[in-house]
Amino acid sequence: MRSPFSHLKMVVRLVAADDWRPSSMTERRLLELEREGLLRPRTSSSWPEWIAPAADHREPRLPTGYVVSFTKFHHHGLGAPPSRFMRALCHHYGVELQHFSPNAITIAAVFAAVCEGYLGMMPHWDLWLHLYRGELFNAPTGTTGVRKPVLAGCLNLVLKTGKTDRPRKYIQVGLSSNHAGWVSQWFYLRNDDGLLPAYTGA
């Protein structure tokens, strides 16, 4: 099968990615998300819906059956548990949940809302592929022609333009240009029935 990123050309030299930033998320902060309705209430002490990373987890060390999520994702429209459409995006682009950027989560959530709220149907896959493509993001290093991979947020979703008038046929989506600190707001989200791709750390 053709890769969804086959249209991209690597024209820079890549160096090693930075390490994970230790998580700033605590149980208290995640309970606030729960009270806001952005996370499911925990119903089990042995297999809770979400877990705050231990203080000595300077990078994700997940229990079996969990994936890495970020508070920004849930503020930007990621459901818990993630929708079928969100799972389909993961598998189509060959990425794990942590690879989405916050704006990519927003774009996916808005598209689902347009389909369900305005068109009266579930998110339409062919319509998605007609409108959007995936782009890989590599961070600048300060040296011309040299960039580095990122461990979280490497997938951007971009409205197709080219010689078509697709952007004018679709609603304008306001995207934030400031997500400062989001990469340190990670925690463990239960992966019900293993429907999301498992975390590999890649």
Helix/strand/coil for 95: coil
pLDDT of amino acid 11? 54
Helix/strand/coil for 116: helix
Q: Is residue 7 part of a domain?
A: no
Q: Is residue 2 part of a domain?
A: no
pLDDT of amino acid 15? 55
Q: How far is CA 89 from the centre of its chain?
A: 10
pLDDT of amino acid 5? 52
Nearest alpha carbon to residue 126 among 115, 117, 137: 115
pLDDT of amino acid 159? 85
Q: Is residue 70 part of a domain?
A: yes
pLDDT of amino acid 146? 75
Q: Is residue 170 part of a domain?
A: yes
Structural domain that includes position 38: 13-194
Per-residue pLDDT for the chain (202 aa), expressed as one digit of tens each? 455 555 445 555 555 667 788 999 999 999 999 999 999 999 989 999 999 999 889 999 999 999 999 999 999 999 988 999 999 999 999 999 999 999 999 999 999 999 999 889 999 999 999 889 998 887 777 777 777 778 898 999 988 876 555 556 666 777 766 677 899 999 999 999 999 999 998 7
Is 51 in contact with 66 (CB distance < 8 Å)? yes
Nearest alpha carbon to residue 25 among 61, 87, 63, 69: 69
d(CA 87, CA 195): 7
DSSP for residue 12: S
pTM of the predicted structure, to 2 decimals: 0.84
Q: Is residue 6 part of a domain?
A: no
140 pairs with which residues across the strands?
147
Domain count, the chain: 1
